[in-house]
Chains A and B, each alone.
Chain A
Amino acid sequence: MSIAAGNTGPVNAQIAAGTPNEFLTFTLGEEEYGVDILKVQEIRGYDTVTRIPDAPDFIKGVINLRGTIVPVVDMRLKFKLGSAEYNEFTVMIILNIAKRVVGMVVDGVSDVMQLTAEQIRPAPEFGSVVNTRYITGLGALDQRMLILVDIEKLMSGADMALMDSHSQALQ
């Protein structure tokens, strides 16, 4: 897989700036992803979700998280990966990003991994379900390849339809 030289810039800058290198790993479809552990608030099961009118199908609705109304995105629907079932094994990651609390449903959550700078490679130009804009790098550990995602940027993007264009402009 060819890796464009241009992509080393941002990754190196991040590592140099003291990249957080603890990642929560989760599976979505065929691939494993990693998000900055500091952005993860908690992990929950999937409970009753109240639908929101006029929302895209991947925004399932909102839940009551100990008194706060939190929107829930089903990443499996968003990226059109396989079937989205909701049972006792369905898992949701509650994220704390851009001063908001947002939940995302994934296929499964694995473990927290620490990655050193050498274990993080620059992101490929293509080949992933998630737009490369949001990928900060590839983590390689043993046989596993983790796609490291800038979850804040991903969730704030316009196509996620989670935020008003006004707040997006502030990102």
Chain B
Amino acid sequence: MNLDLERFHKTFFEESFENLDLAEAALLRLDVAVFDAETINTIFRAAHSIKGGAATFGFSAVAEFTHHAETLLDLMRSGKRQLAQPDIDLLLRAVDTLHGLLGAARDGSAANLAQVAEVQQALEAALSRPSVVPPAATIAAAPAASGWRIRFAPKPDLFRSGNDPLRIFRALAALGELRAEPVPQPLPGLSAADPETCYLAWTLELDGAATLAEVADCFAWVEDECDLAIEPRQPAVAEGMPPPTGVNVVALPVATVRAADTVPKTAEVASSIRVGTEKIDALINLVGELVITQAMLTQLAEALDPVQNEKLLNGLSQLDRNTRMLQEAVMATRMLPMEAVFSRFPRLVHDLASKLGKQVRLVTVGEQTELDKSVIEKISDPLNHLVRNSLDHGLENSESRVAAGKDAVGTITLKAAHQGGHIVIEVGDDGRGLDAARILAKAREKGVPCGETMSEAEIYQLIFAPGFSTAEQVTDVSGRGVGMDVVKRNIQALGGSVELASRPGRGATVTIRLPLTLAILDGMSVGVGEEIFILPLSSVIESLQPLPDQVKRVADAGTVVRVRNEYLPLVDLRDWFSLPGARRPPQESIVVIVEAEGRKVALQIDELVGQQQVVIKSLEANYRRVRGVSGATILGDGRVSLILDVAAVVRLFSQSIAA
């Protein structure tokens, strides 16, 4: 056998780990009461691929182990073995073991042979138990009668060949009852959308007795111009099915197209390509430099006579548009759906809930919300910790819940959504909520500094103090009190913020806000003294020149500005940055109202310069973290301009002036 195969090893391992993830997600989706042929097939195919690849490349340990799992799955998928929870749990353990085996094979390290032997024996034991041939009634026959699920993703040029998806849908609707749902995916903005290009894809559900041939016929004209998948649908789960005793975890699929489903759909696999992150980062850097150069050109062009240089100016404005689109497209390549993060939670919740003896269901919303890859990597651990906390401390066990009149099964909700220039991630539970009194008492006991009178929100924030924990006992799940402050610090390091909300007895929600992109910022440039600073546009609410009677001094605390009915603390940026120059009274300057973490502050500046997109350059790469500055950028004229860390200013100043 030639050794040339080694270069395929990398691909084999990558694909095998992906298959394991698929298998795990599918195993968690399985409901023992329903025979879901599609899902079981997915697991079987995953195991089969791994076994085949392992055998080809000579990883005999992996192949042999997988063989047992595959045999079990084969019996299950052909209906010769009834689905049972112990089998599913055993298969989950097998997935874990395979993970270890594959990792060992890839890294050349020793596998955990004891674990492998144990699980393999368990698999053999399961196989030798008499299989139960389930009564025919519980298996759905190949559902020719219950309809089809069609995934229809036209290629962008579909319209140009004279085809119209609506006509296809009407033809389908003639075969039975049709429901169409567009697949959530990124759409270009209105100004960038081309009316002759198709940007949408659909998932269609067709009820009725149509045959495969009839359905496929409707798509005959567009066969080559779309990605099409037609599958039989299962009948709906009968009502009144009691949830299995013990743990019940259901991940409700909100988005209809999940990454897990793309492997069997060969059409979609061919349309993606693996690219190393270094290449993408290099691309982003280059685009960043392009943005700076383009801004410089625009600035230079402002001095030109518009009439004489009309063509040049037109060209420059076209360049501006193109650069903007290029930049958005490149940033989008690094964006991955939150699903990448959420996908590990069903397993975590499943295992943890069974370990703690609680009944928990996990609901995920907005998995398609996209986030920069580097942020996704860093948000995993904090989310992990928050979910564990909810499970461990927030949710009560079934008896307590029922006694309190709540559903015996607790719910943990993971939600992600875009909001302005941020992404908002929520981890919520319907457990016992946060006990403000207990938190305050614990804080005092641990010597955590707390004010005389604190609002509820401020009391909840005490949880983030280092060393804090109200857990009665430290478990290995949580309670050691080192978690929450690390969570907060990690989130702040990403430029985000975290808030807590709670209703006693009803539950608690942690809300994390993160900036969408790390590298480019829409900024408002303001002049203070000789310097120009950048304010993140998403934080700016308004700017005004205050009247003398709007400005008030508060004894010992500073100055406030009255804006409509609010009094906002006034920060003179000259003071904040220790700039030379005479202080001007607020009524002779401009005041910009900014907001962060739900609080507002008024910043006093000398002049408003303009608005531009800036490339964020790190100050900390060569220097260190500076208070109040979140980064720097290079202006069109080559000068360095500091970007204000609005959250830091808000934090410092809105505390000192309590309501």
A contact residues vs B (CB 8 Å cutoff) = 48, 50-55, 61-64, 67-71, 100-102, 161-164, 167
Using CB atoms, name the residue of chain A closest to B632: A69
Separation of A53 and B618 alpha carbons in the complex (Å): 16
> Could you tell me if B626 and A54 are in contact, using CB atoms closer than 8 angstroms?
yes
Contact segment of B333-341, B441-449, B501-509, B571-579: B571-579
Query: Contact partner of A68 among B577, B620, B621, B642, CB < 8 A?
Result: B621
> Could you tell me if B622 and A69 are in contact, using CB atoms closer than 8 angstroms?
yes
Contact segment of B36-44, B134-142, B298-306, B633-641: B633-641
* Most A Cβ at <10 Å: residue of B620, B622, B641: B622
B8 at the interface (CB under 8 A from A): no
* Set of chain A residues within 8 Å of B639, measured between Cβ atoms: 48, 50, 64
> Could you tell me if B578 and A70 are in contact, using CB atoms closer than 8 angstroms?
no
Known A50-B642, A52-B642, A167-B624; further 15 A-B contacts with Cβ < 8 A: A50-B641, A53-B576, A53-B577, A53-B628, A54-B627, A61-B640, A62-B632, A63-B640, A64-B634, A64-B639, A67-B634, A70-B622, A162-B624, A163-B624, A164-B620
Using CB atoms, name the residue of chain A closest to B580: A51
B531 at the interface (CB under 8 A from A): yes
Query: Contact partner of A53 among B289, B626, B638, CB < 8 A?
Result: B626
* Set of chain A residues within 8 Å of B641, measured between Cβ atoms: 50
* Set of chain B residues within 8 Å of A64, measured between Cβ atoms: 634, 638-640
Using CB atoms, name the residue of chain A closest to B634: A64
* Set of chain B residues within 8 Å of A55, measured between Cβ atoms: 626
CB contact list, B608-648 vs A, under 8 A: 617-629, 632, 634, 638-642
B360 at the interface (CB under 8 A from A): no
**Contacts A50-B639, A67-B617, A69-B617; is A62 near B627 (CB within 8 Å)?**
no
* Set of chain A residues within 8 Å of B621, measured between Cβ atoms: 68-69, 100
Looking at chain B's contact residues, the main secondary structure is loop
Query: Contact partner of B629 among A53, A162, A163, A164, CB < 8 A?
Result: A53
* Set of chain B residues within 8 Å of A63, measured between Cβ atoms: 640
Give 21 pairs: A residue, B residue, CB < 8 Å, sorted on A. Answer: A50-B639, A50-B642, A51-B531, A52-B629, A52-B642, A53-B577, A53-B578, A53-B628, A53-B629, A54-B578, A54-B627, A55-B626, A63-B640, A64-B638, A64-B639, A67-B634, A70-B622, A100-B621, A161-B624, A163-B624, A164-B625
B292 at the interface (CB under 8 A from A): yes
> Could you tell me if A68 and B617 are in contact, using CB atoms closer than 8 angstroms?
yes
CB of B604 to closest CB in A, whole Å: 15
Separation of A70 and B621 alpha carbons in the complex (Å): 9
Ranked nearest first, the 4 interchain pairs of A and B with the lowest CB-CB distance are A50-B640, A53-B577, A71-B623, A100-B622
CB of A134 to closest CB in B, whole Å: 20
Separation of A163 and B625 alpha carbons in the complex (Å): 9
CB of B533 to closest CB in A, whole Å: 10
* Most B Cβ at <10 Å: residue of A53, A62, A101: A53
CB of B299 to closest CB in A, whole Å: 15
> Could you tell me if B624 and A164 are in contact, using CB atoms closer than 8 angstroms?
yes
Using CB atoms, name the residue of chain B closest to A49: B640
Separation of A162 and B626 alpha carbons in the complex (Å): 11
CB contact list, B547-600 vs A, under 8 A: 576-579
* Set of chain A residues within 8 Å of B618, measured between Cβ atoms: 69
Separation of A117 and B625 alpha carbons in the complex (Å): 41
Separation of A48 and B577 alpha carbons in the complex (Å): 18
CB of A68 to closest CB in B, whole Å: 7
Separation of A66 and B554 alpha carbons in the complex (Å): 46
* Set of chain B residues within 8 Å of A164, measured between Cβ atoms: 620, 624-625
Q: What sequence of 0s and 1s flags, for each residue 401-433 of chain B, a beta carbon within 8 Å of any chain A beta carbon?
A: 000000000000000000000000000000000
CB of A156 to closest CB in B, whole Å: 12
* Set of chain B residues within 8 Å of A70, measured between Cβ atoms: 622
CB of B532 to closest CB in A, whole Å: 9
CB of A39 to closest CB in B, whole Å: 14
* Most A Cβ at <10 Å: residue of B289, B624, B628: B624
* Set of chain B residues within 8 Å of A163, measured between Cβ atoms: 623-624
Using CB atoms, name the residue of chain A closest to B615: A67
Separation of A163 and B624 alpha carbons in the complex (Å): 5
CB of A85 to closest CB in B, whole Å: 18
Query: Contact partner of B289 among A54, A67, A101, A102, CB < 8 A?
Result: A67
* Set of chain A residues within 8 Å of B625, measured between Cβ atoms: 164
Using CB atoms, name the residue of chain A closest to B635: A64
> Could you tell me if A68 and B622 are in contact, using CB atoms closer than 8 angstroms?
yes
Separation of A164 and B620 alpha carbons in the complex (Å): 9
* Set of chain A residues within 8 Å of B620, measured between Cβ atoms: 164
Using CB atoms, name the residue of chain A closest to B617: A69
* Set of chain B residues within 8 Å of A54, measured between Cβ atoms: 578, 626-627
CB of A113 to closest CB in B, whole Å: 28
**Contacts A53-B577, A69-B632; is A101 near B624 (CB within 8 Å)?**
no
Using CB atoms, name the residue of chain B closest to A55: B626
Using CB atoms, name the residue of chain B closest to A47: B638
Separation of A47 and B626 alpha carbons in the complex (Å): 22
Using CB atoms, name the residue of chain A closest to B619: A69
